[in-house]
Copies of this chain bind each other. A is one copy, B any other.
């Protein structure tokens, strides 16, 4: 129910073809709402039928034509409506947490290895966010409007990734067999 709205936000920021949109869902907007290109195309078709977006075919040189979508007035209404409505809390699904909790029923060492892997992935993601923060939001005190909003979402990502990494470190510290216990 919210991929539609995420697309409305993305298209409000910039009109795009399905392909471009799908790539934007691999970064930027996709950092907070992931979607595959198949999903994007399917939903875009549905949204055009509902008249939330309109499309215009744009011819290009040396490349296939593309269908550029933009938000219609109905789409703007819908986005406004959704923004004013309370969101219900997202269900949590952390396979890593399930694994840690169940580690005693299998190879706890393998689970620890996986915690390491996730730690590294999230640390990498954190670095990307910190880069973006440095590059695009050097002076946060002066931000306002849309830029401020983007910055705040990025801050959420930074805080989330930092928390994840430090949790992994705590798990690693607790489960990594200390020398005193090996004997």
Q: Which residues of A are in contact with B by a Cβ distance under 8 Å?
A: 2, 5-6, 8-9, 12, 29, 31-34, 76, 79-87, 89-107, 110-111, 113-114, 117-118, 121, 145-146, 148-150, 152-153, 155-157, 159-160, 162-164, 166-167, 170-171, 174-175
Asked whether A159 lies within 8 Å of B152 as measured between CB atoms, the reply is no
Contacts of A95 in B (CB 8 A): 2, 5, 33, 87, 90
> Chain A interface mostly helix, strand, loop or mixed?
helix
What is the total number of copies of this protein in its complex?
A: 2
Contacts of A93 in B (CB 8 A): 2, 32-34, 90
- With A32-B93, A84-B106 already in contact, 4 other A-B pairs whose C-beta atoms are closer than 8 Å: A8-B102, A9-B98, A9-B102, A32-B92
Contacts of A100 in B (CB 8 A): 149, 152-153, 156
Partner of A107, one of B84, B103, B145, B146: B84
Complexed CA–CA distance, A164 and B157 (Å): 10
Asked whether A92 lies within 8 Å of B149 as measured between CB atoms, the reply is no
CB-nearest residue of chain B to A97: B32
Asked whether A170 lies within 8 Å of B145 as measured between CB atoms, the reply is no
Asked whether B84 lies within 8 Å of A110 as measured between CB atoms, the reply is yes
Shortest CB–CB separation between residue A33 and chain B, in angstroms? Answer: 5
Which of A101, A149, A163 lies at the interface centre, i.e. has the most chain B CB atoms within 10 A of its CB? A101
Complexed CA–CA distance, A29 and B105 (Å): 15
Shortest CB–CB separation between residue A144 and chain B, in angstroms? Answer: 9
Contacts of A159 in B (CB 8 A): 163, 166-167, 170
**Contacts A101-B9, A121-B89; A106 near B94 (Cβ below 8 A):** no
